[in-house]
Structures are given as C-alpha cells and as structure tokens.
Chains A and B, each alone.
Chain A
C-alpha cells in the first residue's frame, strides 16, 4: 500500500525554525512530484510548496517564499520542509501530498503534522 507519513510538527515560538519530514512507502518515490499543503485551524486548504521528482524545480506560495525550503532525498524516500522565521500565521496542519501520475492533482495525502507557532 502507498503511504505518506509526516513528522516533525510541534509548538515553536515566532521567529524560530522547524523541519518537517514526510516518509514515503509503497511506490517509486523518485518518479513523483511532491507538495506541501497546509490548513490553518478552521480554515481552508492552502498550497505551500512543490518539488519535481528529481528535485530540479521548486516553487513556493508567496506567503512562505524566502522563509520555507522544500527538498527531498530520493535515496531515503523522504520529503522535507525547512521552515524558518516562523510566524503565528504559519500555525496549521501540514500535509505532504503526491502528484497524480501523468497529470496535476494531489492523489495521495499523508495524515498531516501540526505546527503551532505561539509566543
């Protein structure tokens, strides 16, 4: 079975850093583009970042650009999100998601990891 499992969430003060991880299993990790999607408490979904299957291209939402860095290790089947200069408004559940094969949609989601930024 195909799985994505996030980890690394927690409570952090504004201005601090946190690194999220997403471990994949059950599929050929290096063949797929991956994204981070977040959801603030009681709010809707917000796309945050994407990385191509080979890591050669990365894109970010304006809200995280310059502060967050997406990366992947295809030898470890793991996706990362380095979050620096965290703000209260970054508080959310962070989901790791996979691009559907041959198209553009999120067909596989992790269970999410919660990040709380609080003074």
Chain B
C-alpha cells in the first residue's frame, strides 16, 4: 500500500494550464478505471473534482480534466484562476484498499 507518487508542487500564472501527475502501478492506477482527484483548500474539507479517470461531478468546471496513460494519471487545469490555488490529491482503487497520492501544492503566481 505505498502512496501514489505526485510532484510536491506545481505553479502557473492566471490563464495558463498546469498538469499534475500521479504515478502508481499496474495494481492500482494502471489496473482499474477508478482514479479520482480531490482539491483541498487550507483548513477545508477535500472536494471531489474528477472520478473514473476523467469524469467530472456536477458543478465542477470543465477547466478541470483527467486522463491516464499506463500507470500514470494526470489532472489538467486550464485557464488557471486564483481560487485554484490549493492542494490536490489523486486516489486509486486497489484490491481491498484505496491509495492516495502524497499531494501536490498548486501555486497560482
């Protein structure tokens, strides 16, 4: 049950796009279509942004998109806005468990 690997931090300017990667193995990220992404502002509860690799829950802007290639999933945020500055976590299904990434701090410059 090792944590999925995410970059510690990424940054971008307003209006730009950023991509956050999430690397696992064929036993989690690469083996099931159950990768999800969560946004967490400081002191707040995590919020589901993407599920099933690329689906958006109702109310999540289409600036947020997800994809996967092999054992690496990615979250792309386009048209960066100040409010996007937050921590982002990926999570994958694995047999009899769920595995989170270590989290990525997104800074909007």
**Which residues of A are interface residues toward B (Cβ below 8 A)?**
35, 37, 44-47, 50, 59, 61-62, 95, 100, 103-107, 109-112
User: When chains A and B are docked, how far (Å) is the Cα of A109 from the Cα of B38?
Assistant: 11
Interface residues of B, Cβ cutoff 8 Å to A? 1, 3, 32, 34, 36, 38, 40, 45-48, 51-52, 55, 57, 87, 89, 91, 93, 96-103
Contact B102 A44 (CB under 8 A): yes
**Residue pair A107, B98 in contact (C-beta under 8 Å):** no
- Minimum CB–CB distance for A97 against chain B, Å: 8
Measured between beta carbons, the chain A residues less than 8 angstroms from B96 are 59
Check B100–A105 contact: CB distance below 8 A: no
B3 and A47 contact, CB distance less than 8 A: no
3 tightest A-B contacts by CB?
A105-B51, A105-B36, A104-B34
Distance in angstroms between the alpha carbons of A62 and B94 in the assembled complex: 13
